[in-house]
Amino acid sequence: MSHLPSIALHGGAGNLARYAGTGRLEEAESVLGHLVDHIYTMLQQGASAVDAVTEAVVRMEDTGLFHAGRGSAPNQHGYVELDASIMTGHNLEAGAVALVRRVKNPIKLARYVMEHTSTVLLGGAEADALAELQNFEMVDASYFQPCDMIGGAIVGHPSSPSTGTVGAVARDTHGNVAAATSTGGTLRKTAGRIGDAPLIGSGTYAKNNVGAVSCTGIGEYFIRNAAAYAVISRMELLGESVGSAAGTVMQHIHDLGGEGGLIAIGPRGEVSMPFNTSGMYRASIDAWGKRIVGVL
């Protein structure tokens, strides 16, 4: 049976109101609008959910507009450490990388780990080495152009969420779902710190006939709530709608003092995109063709 595709993207949650008047919000909105249309068309033409989320995240990593891939900001010691993960809902396979520094597209490496190794999460220099061995595109420090630079300074405060982890969730015409997340982590993070993005169950989760989730925000709170899996399990075990499950998990994060947001697809291709920050870069087209593109 053919299913109606659906797709949701995020470019991170945070204090986006501070960018008002810089043109940056409009630019991100336009990029996300074009991207969501492109990925939706891919899905309508029969692309798999895993190909759709990979393509979406690669493109967002490459824009330099978000705090992932090219746009990643350095950690406290001045170099980037990138995290990413991907999961496919039809077989619960997953792959992730943490603390990579030289691979151009961490999400491609996460997918390689998922499809070609027996490991789920590979970290540090050995992950970069695998990428090099497999002829992935490698970059040096000069490639990275922190997206949080305005007028030559990195804006934002270490205790506030970064503004641009990227993520995608999709359901394809076969009914398969997938989720992917990629990040440079929180601003000026402690060297060696790993957030929720590469942790399956915290930042990313996908399970057929239930849904797919990608999170953004202060990762520690999402880890402590096993946020992505919490959304899935509320839908699966409690029978909650995607909106109710996603909203409840965001409330739990808020109650602990956490900030951020998430995107989720439900079993029929419904979309929910809650956040408790001043904004979240987001775009979606649900199974009924309803299109949303928003920032604040």
- Binding flag, residue 85, ligand ASP (CB under 6 A): no
Q: Which residues ranging from 46 to 75 are in contact with ligand ASP (CB under 6 A)?
A: 67
Considering only CA atoms, give the Rg of the chain.
Answer: 17
Place of tokens 């949650």: 13
**Judging by DSSP bridges, how do beta strands 279-285 and 271-272 pair with one another?**
unpaired
Catalytic residues: 165
- Binding flag, residue 185, ligand ASP (CB under 6 A): yes
Work out how close the CB of 185 gets to ligand ASP at its nearest, in angstroms, rounded to a whole number. 4
Q: Are 64 and 38 a contacting pair, CB within 8 Å?
A: no
Give 42 or 68: the residue with its C-beta nearer to ligand ASP.
Answer: 68
- Binding flag, residue 11, ligand ASP (CB under 6 A): no
Strands in 211-217's sheet, in edge-to-edge order, are 204-207, 211-217, 260-265, 271-272
The continuous run of DSSP H or E covering 292 comes out as strand 291-294
Number of residues that bind ligand ASP (CB under 6 A): 15
Closest CA to 206 of 161, 247, 249, 236: 236
Look up residue 125 and give its amino acid: A
Q: Contact letters (x/-) for ligand ASP, 119-158, by CB under 6 A? A: ----------------------------------------
- Binding flag, residue 186, ligand ASP (CB under 6 A): yes
Contacts of 45 (CB under 8 A, 6+ apart): none
- In the list 63, 88, 165, 284, the residue contacting ligand ASP (rule: CB under 6 A) is 165
Work out how close the CB of 16 gets to ligand ASP at its nearest, in angstroms, rounded to a whole number. 11
3-state SS assignment for residue 185: coil
Q: Are 231 and 264 a contacting pair, CB within 8 Å?
A: yes
Determine the straight-line distance between the first and last CA of the chain, rounded to whole angstroms.
38
- Binding flag, residue 6, ligand ASP (CB under 6 A): no
DSSP-derived letter for residue 74 is P
Q: Contact letters (x/-) for ligand ASP, 206-245, by CB under 6 A? A: ----------xxxx--------------------------
- Binding flag, residue 196, ligand ASP (CB under 6 A): yes
Give 15 or 241: the residue with its C-beta nearer to ligand ASP.
Answer: 15
Give 43 or 253: the residue with its C-beta nearer to ligand ASP.
Answer: 253
| Contacts with ligand ASP, residue ranges (CB under 6 A) | 12, 67, 161-162, 165, 183, 185-186, 195-197, 216-219
